[in-house]
Structure 1
Amino acid sequence: LIVTIDLFLSGCRFRRKIRYEVFARSMTEPVVLTIAAVIFYLQGFTENGLFWSYLIALTATSAAATYGLHKSYTHAEFGSIAAIPTAIVLLRRAAPTGTYEFLKMVLDRLHILLVTFFFSESVTGVYGAAVQFTTLLNKIGAGFEPILAPVVAQLTNRGSGEQLHHQLAKIIRWVLSIELLLVVLFILFGRDILGAIGEEFATGEQIMWILVCAVAVQSAFMCNDLPVVYKRPLWNLTIILVLLGICGGSAYFLAPKFGPEGVAMALLITHLCGAILSSCLIWHLFSVWPFERATFKPLISLFVGMTVGYLGLSLGIPRVVGALLVILCFAATAYRFSASSEERKWISRKLKKSA
């Protein structure tokens, strides 16, 4: 199902029908996954509920991708077959990027395999539960990638380094503005969130803290590989091989000392190195950085949200009220400091219109 989704949505992206990919990945999959998980949990399926929820979500996403592919191509185009020389040329050009995507998928799952190698099944279960909640952050970054891909392709072909810099910096700022709110909530209320599945999972609180930071870094800089794909695809392949080595090597040294938290630390180190390497590569290719000073303004909202949350927990405010206060303070700070003047005007117009 995963391969089918990727293949069909790649076809939609080729026709610049980005809305189908956004609908499938950013709406259908997370919404169906959340609803199915809640239903299974309420029905008492605590052991296999997440597995069946994920399967249902993938099936729904596959159906949405199939619909998008059907709308993007005619029946005559489906029936046409490319000549063998053309197919060979396409395969040769796609091989580096295809291999890179495969290895990136391996990297996303390597830390889970390392946990199963170093620790018992019970520890792996706790770690896996924490991983399931971090997928929400991944979906945020993945939702921007199909929108940005055609823009980056056009700017890369033109050699517009300055415009590429502004686009990437803006995307990173937007992703951080959304994801850091989830990071704050997961750090402050991680024990309650994991405890909702089962009291035995609440011990994975610190694992969740590290994992959400790692995934936030990965998602924020997820679009950095797009310019390299269009300019020097083999370099992305080199970077992913280096990151696989960093992840495995870091886990080998950290896991015996820190336990499963050490594997999560290895993942965080890997994604930090990936962000640094991809940023340096963009500088080398285009003489611009994919970020600017305003890119990291969402960190102000992170500080405010954490401060308000810790004060609320210290004063004994009910968890639900504390979470709402964190969300309100984070949103207000993001509006004031993270959003540009044009974005604030757009938000104000939308709020006035809805009111």
Structure 2
Amino acid sequence: MSSAELASGGRQNVFGYVMRLIARVPFLVVGGRLYGAEDLGRFAYATMTVEFAAALALVGLKRGLALALARARQPETHVLADAALLTVGAGGAIGAILFLFPGLMFPSGLRFEAERFLALLVVLIAILDLLLSGLAFHRRIGVQVMSRSLVEPWAISIAAIALYYTPLQPVGLLCAYALALVAASVVAWIPAVREFGLPRGWRPSGRRLSAMLKENLPVAGADVIDWTTRRLDLFILGRLAAPEVVGIYYVAQQVASLAGRLRTSFDPILAPLLSQALARGARAEAAAHLAQVGFWVITFQLCVVMMIGVAAEGTMGLFGPAFAGGGVVLVLLLLAELAASQASIAESALIYTRRIVNLAVSLVALGVEAVVAVWLSPVWGGAGAATGLLAAMVLMAVTKQVLLVRTLGTDVPMWRLSILVCAVPAFAYGWATRSLPSEAFHMFATGFGLPLIFLGLMWRFGFSDADRVLLRRQGRERGR
């Protein structure tokens, strides 16, 4: 497996990331300016709860499915059917709890009785993620790009605008969310059925299901803890602050997560390559994959972090006057995303090699986040919650990198000195643009000039030929 194969899969999802960025920003603008911070805060907390329930329902199979398929102990359709049965069972049980106790989704109470039906989306989300993981194992990365990065974000933005002018306006954001997920699921189901076919001859087996569940529980724990670590700040803030504060924090979180999605762009191609390399005992090959992806992700993510962070106040102001004060929160969340990337890439291998230790590290980090966020949120508001997340991410990044190196027996150099050297002049330029007389001019100069300077210097002085293959289409053909 060469850098070209990683580049091919990553390039498709980086394209998807750009498309998701273009589509997600209009939704945040619509949510902030049309619906307001309070409605956006209720939407944020409710959808966070539903997505957490879906993460629980997957019982680790979002990443564990690749290893189950790689072992080929039974036909792939049967493996997928077992995984789907586990997911539907877990998702149905968790969704029923949310339906019966809607206060878990809406701490301030239901506005309409129909809002409790949001719980039905738990199974839909979990099965969608499961199918996309199965398709990614067969390098069908384009389906995820189409489903999650094109159809879903554009559908939610268009639906939110349309529903605002209908009697459904009070629940317009929630209805738009449901419609977008249905559209994304349709896009994923069709190629999944064509790729895997129907599970003919499959029969449920309690023994197989128990074995699959037991094997994936450590991965499930790591996935849930990682997910919780990234949402605990919003949960704590939702319990300690008004919906308006939660709405402002949610916008900052969504903008910051656009940088984090650069990392997840490589997950669909990295998971099968790592699982196959580790199954063969090729740890040096796995380390090379991780180092290459880590360098790509950190380079481009640092570019986005500087570009957005330097113009943080202006960026938040795009969503309405009430959001402009969230600039400090946005900067803290951007730094947390940068640290989270290194931790997550290291974890991509640790979930296969050191599951229990990886889980323990994540639990400690989760505890640190909870303590810091609860301590600082009443004093600093959103900035306190973001500081808790940043502390947890830095702890995980350092600890898991050390653990990864010891596990694989070789260095995994994701950071290189060239990244920092090239970042200095780019950041200096971005900071200098803050003196421009107009905020619009400042954002324009930063948005175009800073990445041009940084990536231009990296292309000339920081990238090797193996690194440049990510941005060259011919890399895909060479990797075939």
- Aligned partner of 1:323 among 424, 442, 447: 447
- Shift in Å at residue 192 of structure 1? 2.0
Letter of the 2:189 counterpart: T
| Alignment RMSD (CA, Å) | 3.1
> Tell me, what secondary structure is at the counterpart of 2:413?
coil
Report if the CA contact (8 A) 2:312-2:330 is conserved.
yes
Letter of the 2:323 counterpart: F
Question: What is the aligned partner in structure 2 of residue 181 from structure 1?
Answer: 303
Letter of the 2:462 counterpart: S
Letter of the 2:230 counterpart: D
- Shift in Å at residue 126 of structure 1? 1.4
- Aligned partner of 1:312 among 433, 436, 443: 433
C-alpha distance in 1, partners of 2:470/2:230? 36
Aligned pairs (5 A) from 1:259-278: 259-278=381-400
Deviations 1:218-243 (A, max 9, x none): 13442221222222322332222222
| Distance of aligned partners of 1:179 and 1:243 in 2 relative to their CA distance in 1, 3 Å threshold | same
C-alpha distance in 2, partners of 1:346/1:115? 39
- Aligned partner of 1:21 among 116, 132, 144: 144
Bigger relative CO (Cα 8 Å, ≥ 6 apart) = 2
- Shift in Å at residue 214 of structure 1? 0.6
C-alpha distance in 2, partners of 1:191/1:79? 59
C-alpha distance in 1, partners of 2:312/2:200? 48
Report if the CA contact (8 A) 2:137-2:269 is conserved.
no
1:131 aligns with 2:233: no
Report if the CA contact (8 A) 1:279-1:289 is conserved.
no
Report if the CA contact (8 A) 1:214-1:271 is conserved.
yes
- Shift in Å at residue 342 of structure 1? 4.0
Aligned pairs (5 A) from 1:332-347: 332-344=456-468, 347=471
> Tell me, what secondary structure is at the counterpart of 2:426?
helix
| Distance of aligned partners of 1:46 and 1:306 in 2 relative to their CA distance in 1, 3 Å threshold | farther
- Aligned partner of 2:420 among 293, 296, 299: 299
- Shift in Å at residue 108 of structure 1? 2.0
Aligned pairs (5 A) from 1:187-266: 187-266=309-388
Report if the CA contact (8 A) 2:310-2:431 is conserved.
yes
C-alpha distance in 1, partners of 2:162/2:336? 28
TM-score for both structures, normalised by structure 2: 0.64
How many residues end up aligned between the 2 structures? Answer: 347
Q: Which moved more, 1:16-25 or 1:138-147?
A: 16-25
Question: What is the aligned partner in structure 2 of residue 98 from structure 1?
Answer: 220
Aligned pairs (5 A) from 1:109-120: 109-120=231-242
- Shift in Å at residue 37 of structure 1? 8.7
C-alpha distance in 2, partners of 1:224/1:62? 30
1:71 aligns with 2:194: yes
TM-score for both structures, normalised by structure 1: 0.85
C-alpha distance in 1, partners of 2:160/2:307? 19
- Shift in Å at residue 28 of structure 1? 4.3
Deviations 1:80-131 (A, max 9, x none): 2243322222222122212332332222211101112332332222111211
Q: Which moved more, 1:223-232 or 1:146-155?
A: 223-232
C-alpha distance in 1, partners of 2:326/2:152? 25
The runs of 5 or more residues in structure 2 that have no matched partner are 1-123, 475-480
1:143 aligns with 2:269: no
